[in-house]
Structure 1
Amino acid sequence: MFSRLAILLMTIVLAAPALAQTAPSDAPRIPNFWDPQDRLIKPDVRALPRMRFLTVTDFPPFSFVDDQKRLVGFHIDLARAICAELELLPVCQIQALPFGELEAALRDGKGDALLAGTAITPATRRNLDFSKRYFRLPARFVGRIDTSLQEPLTRALSGKTVAVVAGTAHAAFAKATFDRISPRAFPTLNAAFAALKADQVDAMFADGLATSFLLQREEATAAPCCRFVGGPYLSKQYFPGELAVALPKDNRTLRDAVDYALRSINDKGIFAELYLRWFPVSLY
């Protein structure tokens, strides 16, 4: 078991690359996981007869079916951007399948890449290759709209009551890392958020993606209650949610091509455009 100090240091180190693209405090932060020293070569894959991405319909805002029955989302736009960078738009295809069928479909040659949040584990690495990561799902603190809380939150939240969702990795992380807070467990995220709105707790610590949906809903009201405070928290031990493109095993050329496209999309500002489009309440 890591010590509290070790966990906190690991979190700070992991968070640093994600905030490499600095922005004014009132502007959305765009995550950037790329090493500026990396130099990637563009393989020529224009001879591919197709570039078919396989995804799902139940992973908003990454991929889902909208009110007009269209498959939309961050991953859908990212797939098209990858095709554009590799000069494959004429043969670019996107198909949705149930999540449980994706790996078998890729293995059977029914697709060329997975954009569906496939977990990167020793088990999945036995059958799949993965591109370089392009996204991570952070944890965040949330306070009321008029809160004075600011970094360093470890000091600002000393002795404060913080809502967490019982039984989650985020609750375990908060307990292990922030020994000066007083965590209060709730059965669901909605219940924890309701307690924050009702001024029954001083802050909430939870999954950034799920919480961003609640904050986005609040922003649509006349008087939003709450906002993210402080920065993102990333931990490979507690919430290792890295997103990368899953690819057929041992196709080095395709993997290098996708890596090149992802880096180019980032450097040209296309990733930032897609991020702001699909994450109006920034996770970072």
Structure 2
Amino acid sequence: MPKTEASKTDASKTDTSKSAAPGVMVPNLWNPRSRQERLEAPQTGRPVRFLTDDEFPPLHFSGPDGTPTGFVVELARAVCERLSITCTVQARRFDTLLDALAERQGDVVAAAIPLTPALRARFLATRPYFRWPARFAARSDRGLPAPSAEALAGRTVAVLGGSAHAAYLKAFFPKALAKDFTDLSAAQGALKRGETDYLFSDGLTLALWIGGTEAEGCCGFLGGDYLENRYFGEGIGFVARREDVALSRALDDALQRLWDEGKYTEIYLRFFPVSPF
């Protein structure tokens, strides 16, 4: 399986990725050995109703015409096309999505709800189609080395105090000098001003900042991604009711095929010009 361009420390051995465009890494979250005969979605006589939230770009948000869009939403639409089924997408408040699914107001949740044991005890979920990589960022003009336990010794690293990223830094980069911040924008500002050597945080949020106007091109990712489940979770997948086994398995199969056919990569590049991976 292909490797990411960036080298990884032993603490960051995770899913593999591939480079689909110069400097853009696309995560490969599928196991090629799990391929099977094509699974058909059950025919219910009505559209499969996807539920999402419209306030979390670039994963799911309201488009210019008010229609839900985003990486997760367009992936759901591609899955429906791949399965040759009719689907609808309805936006609801994020904290009501799982209850709406349980009350049969929809059939599948397509939103950034973390996959956890508690969620799996209540619902079925596909394998993750997106995960939350942790990344190091640094000023682009400093020429700092790629992060490793040795390279970070004695160097300052901004983290959110009490976060999973702070705990990971302490466990795997014990000689780094952690600088705790209470909010990410303050940590980003400190990195931009050169008041800290590195920033270690959620890759998605950092990617949006690095590619946005606020960073003013100051900074970029350094090193690889870190996806340790115990610290950063399993990621997100499509969520269905426990009795809808055939639908959940068909969604899983369709996701694998979208990856194989390059459709996943096509959608990913539309919404992640700076990849979190």
Question: Taking structure 1 as the reference length, what is the TM-score of the superposition?
Answer: 0.88
Contact preservation (8 Å) 2:35, 2:256? no
Q: Distance in 1 between matches of 2:36 and 2:107?
A: 21
Q: Distance in 2 between matches of 1:23 and 1:203?
A: 27
Q: How many Å apart are 1:115 and its aligned residue?
A: 0.7
Do residues 56 (structure 1) and 49 (structure 2) align? no
Contact preservation (8 Å) 1:128, 1:249? yes
Aligned to 2:274: 281
Distance 1:205 1:198, change over 3 A: same
Contact preservation (8 Å) 2:20, 2:265? no
Encode CA deviations 1:253-278: one digit per residue, 9 max, x unaligned. 11111011100111111111111111
Contact preservation (8 Å) 2:42, 2:246? no
Aligned to 1:141: 136
Contact preservation (8 Å) 2:148, 2:173? no
Do residues 195 (structure 1) and 190 (structure 2) align? yes
Aligned to 2:63: 66
Give the letter aligned to residue 81 of structure 2: A
Encode CA deviations 1:4-53: one digit per residue, 9 max, x unaligned. xxxx74x433x2x232x2568x5211100111211222222363321111
| Secondary structure at 1:135 match in 2 | coil
From 251, 256, 260, give the equivalent of 1:263: 256
Q: Distance in 2 between matches of 1:227 and 1:158?
A: 20
Contact preservation (8 Å) 1:46, 1:87? no
Tell me how many residue pairs correspond in the alignment: 268
Aligned to 1:5: none
| Secondary structure at 2:88 match in 1 | strand
Unaligned 5+ runs, structure 1: 1-7
1:156-171, aligned counterparts within 5 Å? 156-171=151-166
1:71-220, aligned counterparts within 5 Å? 71-88=68-85, 91-151=86-146, 153-218=148-213
Distance 1:105 1:23, change over 3 A: closer
Q: Distance in 2 between matches of 1:241 and 1:46?
A: 27
Aligned to 1:12: 12
Aligned to 1:36: 32
Give the letter aligned to residue 12 of structure 2: I
Range that drifts further, 100-109 or 189-198 = 100-109
Aligned to 2:6: none
Give the letter aligned to residue 12 of structure 1: S
Aligned to 1:250: 243
Q: Distance in 1 between matches of 2:38 and 2:272?
A: 29
Aligned to 2:4: none
Unaligned 5+ runs, structure 2: 1-8
CA RMSD after TM alignment? 2.0
Distance 1:66 1:220, change over 3 A: farther
Q: How many Å apart are 1:213 and its aligned residue?
A: 1.6
Aligned to 1:4: none
Q: Distance in 2 between matches of 1:238 and 1:138?
A: 10
Encode CA deviations 1:225-284: one digit per residue, 9 max, x unaligned. 000110001121111151111011032211111011100111111111111111111101
Aligned sequence identity (%): 37
Question: Taking structure 2 as the reference length, what is the TM-score of the superposition?
Answer: 0.90
Give the letter aligned to residue 166 of structure 2: A
